[in-house]
């Protein structure tokens, strides 16, 4: 056998080594490029933690203060980086505490792998201490899950988990590993997964559909684009911007789509949805062609489906066949990866500008500015508004910061008034609407993008749901900036109570602790602002501080977020007051 042949034969042979299942898990993570994971130890996962201790120089484990915090941190890490986030927990309550974050990742298409320990295989089904059927519990909220009972199953299952989590439309995967499988030794070798039988991650692009879409776009008189997170998930920002600019089409975004093209781009007409901008909501029901790209026609975007864009033809660019015609009937569906689909579309488009159609958006924006925006960012009232806080943060970060929000009024205000100059800059809980998401997600985002300014913005309600993660920030020395907009209410619920329940503020008024004292208890610099004249200096101090910083801003108690589409109303019935 010559040297060349010998080299080929050697390359074909994978080297095996006899190791424990728990060490195999660590080696699988390393093979997938994992350098940080978030978790909380316990009895059923202790063998893995014991091996993790030996690999501290290769994988950084972040001890969160709650397992839910681990999943949200893994989400923040994944959302800003595009990599797979990893969370790890023990059995029973440790595993069930992951469920909220897993469900959030599922509906927001976030790639995440969760690893849970489980009781020994001979105890399964016996109601052993801290035994919970986490596979059964997580099945509705995972892209895939699997229980491992033998160490030899670990490499193949782990490889499959990472492939499924990040391929096609991303999502969360859960792997449950019994304790005996963690101790058991076997001959380990690892091979990355490149495909799964019966799982078609990316549909093959049908060029006839692309041509049909281009024909409709070229013939349209009043086209409008609504794009979602699928553009950034597909890393298609460059192709998308080229399509928008060549076709000259006014383009609006869902909250998860923000940043694919900068907020300041002349063809960016703002946000659609319940608290979106006036013009794109109203004119959805006046366009003659609606082009949906990487979005799923969520009910918060469409309002009453029976009146949504009925006058328009609809083109849907989408990677997941299950989303086609699920909520809105399409005239042309282009299945495939956004990057490939938009690249194929671009050369088929005519160059256009639609000046009269664009003027309609400008006219309606002027109305919104006078009735809503001006009062939000240049208020005449004595108390601070959430809008002017966001305006000041924008001014001092020049729109380059990653904004990580919780859920509520502050979330909608942040989406409306933050400038997103870069992709993957609006990190928020979209579909599930998880209060408590913001603080731990900001930890993961900052660790994944240490050179970016990462600002967590929460309300006083959601902040207290995961406030314990200040301990993670302190221990890990994560230089994240934390802003709490404190109105002493569960603001979004209070707004609904005011508008639709005759101001019966049932269980929404908050009696809050001393937030500054709590932050300082975790050795985090902190300040409280109550007056407008102190805001600018306080934000500057926060931005210029090297380490983590907490800023509480007391805002008007009963400010509302407008525009607003009442539940069940048409998008064209959006209210400005």
User: Of 6, 58, 50, 7, whose CA–CA distance to 32 is shortest?
Assistant: 58
347 and 394, same domain (yes or no): no
What are 283-286's contacts with CB under 8 Å, separation 24+? 283/224, 283/250, 283/360, 283/361, 283/364, 284/224, 284/226, 284/308, 284/309, 284/312, 284/571, 284/572, 285/309, 285/310, 285/311, 285/570, 285/571, 285/572, 286/222, 286/311, 286/360, 286/572
User: Of 90, 243, 236, whose CA–CA distance to 176 is shortest?
Assistant: 90
Q: What is the pLDDT of residues 66-103, one digit of tens each?
A: 999 999 999 999 999 999 999 999 999 999 999 999 99
Q: Is residue 573 part of a domain?
A: no
Residues in contact with 186: Cβ distance below 8 Å, sequence separation at least 6, in sequence order: 18, 19, 21, 24, 150, 151, 152
SS3 track for 221-233: CCEEEEECCHHHH
* Cis amide leading into 240 (omega within 30): no
Residue 3: band (very low, low, confident or very high) from pLDDT cuts 50, 70, 90: very low
Q: Is residue 200 part of a domain?
A: no
Q: What is the per-residue pLDDT for 449?
A: 97
Secondary structure element (H or E) that encloses residue 72, with its range: helix 67-81
Q: What is the pLDDT of residues 203-217, one digit of tens each?
A: 999 999 999 999 999
Mean pLDDT of 186-193: 96
CA–CA gap between residue 316 and residue 327 (Å, rounded): 11
Q: Is residue 7 part of a domain?
A: no
180 and 238, same domain (yes or no): no
At residue 174, does pLDDT exceed 90? yes
* Tokens 């731990």 -> residue: 440
Q: What is the pLDDT of residues 426-451, one digit of tens each?
A: 999 999 999 999 999 999 999 999 99
Mean pLDDT of 138-167: 98
Q: What is the pLDDT of residues 458-488, one digit of tens each?
A: 999 999 999 999 999 999 999 999 999 999 9
User: Of 165, 207, 228, whose CA–CA distance to 335 is shortest?
Assistant: 207
474: domain CATH number?
3.40.50.970
Q: What is the Cβ-side half-sphere exposure of residue 389, based on CA atoms within 13 angstroms?
A: 33
At residue 552, does pLDDT exceed 80? yes
Q: Give whole-number Cα distances, 362 to 196, 229, 259, 282, 499, in Å.
A: 49, 25, 20, 12, 28
User: What's the N-to-C CA distance of the chain in angstroms?
Assistant: 83
CA–CA gap between residue 504 and residue 501 (Å, rounded): 6
What are 242-246's contacts with CB under 8 Å, separation 24+? 242/342, 242/346, 243/342, 243/345, 243/346, 243/349, 246/346, 246/349, 246/351
Residue 149 class from Cβ within 10 Å (0-12 exposed, 13-18 middle, 19+ buried)?
Answer: middle
At residue 8, does pLDDT exceed 90? no
Q: What is the pLDDT of residues 107-132, one digit of tens each?
A: 999 999 999 999 999 999 999 999 99
540 and 418, same domain (yes or no): yes
Of 188, 219, 244, the last residue of a domain is: 188
348 and 411, same domain (yes or no): no
Residue 305 DSSP symbol: G
Of 160, 188, 216, the last residue of a domain is: 188
Q: Is residue 571 part of a domain?
A: no
Secondary structure element (H or E) that encloses residue 499, with its range: helix 491-500
Structure tokens at 565: 């589409």
409 and 510, same domain (yes or no): yes
CB atoms within 10 A of CB 521: 13
CA–CA gap between residue 85 and residue 441 (Å, rounded): 11
Q: Is residue 11 part of a domain?
A: no
Q: What is the per-residue pLDDT for 199?
A: 93
130 contacts 42 by C-beta, under 8 angstroms: yes
Q: At what angle do helices 386-397 and 532-544 cross, to 10 degrees?
A: 40
Residue 221 class from Cβ within 10 Å (0-12 exposed, 13-18 middle, 19+ buried)?
Answer: exposed
Residue 377 class from Cβ within 10 Å (0-12 exposed, 13-18 middle, 19+ buried)?
Answer: buried
Q: Looking at 38-47, 54-63, 65-74, 566-575, which range is the least confident one?
A: 566-575
Q: Is residue 516 part of a domain?
A: yes
Q: What is the pLDDT of residues 21-38, one digit of tens each?
A: 999 999 999 999 999 999
272: domain CATH number?
3.40.50.1220
Domain count, the chain: 3
Q: What is the per-residue pLDDT for 166?
A: 98
Sequence length of the chain is 577
Q: What is the pLDDT of residues 496-522, one digit of tens each?
A: 999 999 999 999 999 999 999 999 999
Q: What is the pLDDT of residues 220-271, one digit of tens each?
A: 999 999 999 999 999 999 999 999 999 999 999 999 999 999 999 999 999 9
Residue-wise over 91-122: b if at least 16 C-beta within 10 A, else e?
Answer: bbebbbbbbbbbbbbbbbbbbbbbbbbbbbbe
308 and 248, same domain (yes or no): yes
283 and 394, same domain (yes or no): no
At residue 19, does pLDDT exceed 70? yes
421 contacts 399 by C-beta, under 8 angstroms: yes
262 and 388, same domain (yes or no): no
In sequence order, what DSSP letters do the residues of 356-419 get, joined into one string? HHHHHHHHHHHHHIIIIIHHHHS--SSS--HHHHHHHHHHHHTT-SEEEE-SSHHHHHHHHH--
Q: What is the per-residue pLDDT for 10?
A: 41
Mean pLDDT of 524-528: 98
Q: Is residue 213 part of a domain?
A: yes
Q: What is the CA radius of gyration of the chain?
A: 25
Q: What is the per-residue pLDDT for 7?
A: 42
Mean pLDDT taken over the chain: 95
137 contacts 108 by C-beta, under 8 angstroms: no
Q: What is the per-residue pLDDT for 381?
A: 86
> Which are the catalytic amino acids?
67, 129-130, 179, 492
307 and 416, same domain (yes or no): no
At residue 1, does pLDDT exceed 50? no
Q: Is residue 122 part of a domain?
A: yes
498 and 537, same domain (yes or no): yes
Residue 141 DSSP symbol: G
Q: What is the per-residue pLDDT for 14?
A: 62
At residue 312, does pLDDT exceed 70? yes
* Tokens 């990653």 -> residue: 402
496 and 544, same domain (yes or no): yes
Residue 253: domain span: 207-360
% of the chain surpassing 90 pLDDT:
95
22 and 86, same domain (yes or no): yes
Q: What is the per-residue pLDDT for 573?
A: 93
CB atoms within 10 A of CB 537: 11
Looking at the chain, the number of H-run helices and the number of E-run strands are 25, 20
12-26, 529-543, 555-569 — most confident range = 529-543
Residue 369: band (very low, low, confident or very high) from pLDDT cuts 50, 70, 90: very high
């Amino acid at each position: 056998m010559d040297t060349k042949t010998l080299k080929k034969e050697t390359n074909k042979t994978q080297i095996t080594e006899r190791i424990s299942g728990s060490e195999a898990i660590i080696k699988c993570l390393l093979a997938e490029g994992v350098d940080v994971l978030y978790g909380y130890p316990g009895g059923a996962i202790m063998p893995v933690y014991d091996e993790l201790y030996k690999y501290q120089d290769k994988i950084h484990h972040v001890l969160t203060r709650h397992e839910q915090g681990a999943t949200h941190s893994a989400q923040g890490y994944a959302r800003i980086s595009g990599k797979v986030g990893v969370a790890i927990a023990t059995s029973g309550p440790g595993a069930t505490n992951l469920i909220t974050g897993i469900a959030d990742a599922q509906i927001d298409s976030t790639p995440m792998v969760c690893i849970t320990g489980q009781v020994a295989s001979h105890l399964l089904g016996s109601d052993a201490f801290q035994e919970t059927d986490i596979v059964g519990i997580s099945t509705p909220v995972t892209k895939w899950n699997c229980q491992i009972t033998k160490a030899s199953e670990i490499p193949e299952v782990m490889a499959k988990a990472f492939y499924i989590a990040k391929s096609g439309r991303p999502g969360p995967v859960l792997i449950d590993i019994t304790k005996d499988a963690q101790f058991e030794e076997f001959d380990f070798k690892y091979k990355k997964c490149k495909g799964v039988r019966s799982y078609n991650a990316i549909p093959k692009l049908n060029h006839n559909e692309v041509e049909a879409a281009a024909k409709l776009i070229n013939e349209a008189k009043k086209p409008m684009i609504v794009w979602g997170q699928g553009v950034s998930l597909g890393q298609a920002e460059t192709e998308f911007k080229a399509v928008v600019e060549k076709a000259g089409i006014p383009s609006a975004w869902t909250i998860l789509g923000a940043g694919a093209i900068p907020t300041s781009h002349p063809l960016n007409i703002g946000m659609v949805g319940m608290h979106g901008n006036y013009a794109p909501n109203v004119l959805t029901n006046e366009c003659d062609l609606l082009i949906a790209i990487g979005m799923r026609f969520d009910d918060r975007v469409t309002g009453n489906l029976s009146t949504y864009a009925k006058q328009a033809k609809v083109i849907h660019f989408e990677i997941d066949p299950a989303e086609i015609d699920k909520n809105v009937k399409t005239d042309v569906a282009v299945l495939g990866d956004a990057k490939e689909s938009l690249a194929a579309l671009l050369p088929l488009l005519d160059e256009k500008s639609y000046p009269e159609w664009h003027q309609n958006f400008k006219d309606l924006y002027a109305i919104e500015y006078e009735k809503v925006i001006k009062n939000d960012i240049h208020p005449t009232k004595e108390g601070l508004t959430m809008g002017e806080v966001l305006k000041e943060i924008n001014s001092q970060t020049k729109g380059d910061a990653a904004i990580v929000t919780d859920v509520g009024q502050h979330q909608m205000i942040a989406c409306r008034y933050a400038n997103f100059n870069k992709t993957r800059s609006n990190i928020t809980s979209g579909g599930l609407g998880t209060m408590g998401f913001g603080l731990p997600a900001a930890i993961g985002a900052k660790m994944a993008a240490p050179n970016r300014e990462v600002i967590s913005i929460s309300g006083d309600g959601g902040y207290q749901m995961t406030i314990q993660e200040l301990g993670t920030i302190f221990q890990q020395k994560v230089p994240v900036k934390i802003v709490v907009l404190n109105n002493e209410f569960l603001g979004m619920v209070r707004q609904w109570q005011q508008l639709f329940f005759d101001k019966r503020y049932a269980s929404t008024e908050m009696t809050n602790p001393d937030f500054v004292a709590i932050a300082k208890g975790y050795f985090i610099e902190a300040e409280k602002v109550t007056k407008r004249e102190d805001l600018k200096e306080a934000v500057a101090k926060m931005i210029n501080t090297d380490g983590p910083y907490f800023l509480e801003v007391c805002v008007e108690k009963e400010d509302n977020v407008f525009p607003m589409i009442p539940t069940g109303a048409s998008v064209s019935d959006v209210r400005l007051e």
